[in-house]
Amino acid sequence: NAGVMQNPRHLVRRRGQEARLRCSPMKGHSHVYWYRQLPEEGLKFMVYLQKENIIDESGMPKERFSAEFPKEGPSILRIQQVVRGDSAAYFCASSLIPEVTDTQYFGPGTRLTVL
Amino acid sequence: GQSLEQPSEVTAVEGAIVQINCTYQTSGFYGLSWYQQHDGGAPTFLSYNGLDGLEETGRFSSFLSRSDSYGYLLLQELQMKDSASYFCAALTGGGNKLTFGTGTQLKVEL
């Protein structure tokens, strides 16, 4: 019974490069959420997706960040032209049906370091 | 804006009971969740209150008062492994967005 999976667990990029973070939700879950956590802070909501749809992206920075959840394959959080301020832990969560359940299950996170 | 306030740090001894408070100011509030996080690892779901009152799950209990915009997490029979960060999180935005509190670092001592 695999939980939420994220890869890579650690990612190092130089300024100006692209970062791609992947998330596979729990089996049977079709709702995916991305959160960002800076050191010593709480998690901040970024985006909520269902298969092939972005439902709520109110927490996404306006530039350089994008997310997708294709019909097949994992959800991808893409950061273009990374800057040092993008260094953080990025967590993905999934849930069954938000209107029915109240629980989001989190993956182990991807720690992004921008040099 | 949305905000949830928690004490930054709590220290207690093994076997004791500790209460972590959370006050919130949010719009579109559905309920309050609690998560545990060890050393920046995956946040682990502990408890959820959709209605006022107390929810009990083993050694952990959680309480919500909507009229006071207040909740707490109660940990009983503390163990060393309970040393971690604890976050309250408000479920908002149609029930699909978690807004996290500032987090409470719990240290359990012998």
- Residues of A within 8 A of B50 (CB-CB) are 102
Q: What is the mean pLDDT of residues A60-89?
A: 96
Give the tens place of pLDDT for each residue, B51-72: 999 999 899 999 999 999 999 9
How large a percentage of chain B has pLDDT more than 90? Answer: 80
**Whether B71 contacts chain A with CB within 8 A:** no
**Whether B43 contacts chain A with CB within 8 A:** yes
SS (H, E, C) chain B: CCEEECCCEEEEECCCCEEEEEEEECCCCCEEEEEEECCCCCCEEEEEECCCEEEEECCEEEEEECCCCEEEEEECCCCHHHCEEEEEEEEECCCCEEEECCCEEEEEEC
pLDDT, position B27: 86
Q: What is the mean pLDDT of residues A26-45?
A: 90
Q: Which of residues 38-97 of A touch B (CB under 8 A)?
A: 41-45, 48, 55-56, 58, 89, 91, 93, 95
Q: Say whether B95 and A99 touch across the interface (CB within 8 A).
A: yes
Q: What is the mean pLDDT of chain A?
A: 92
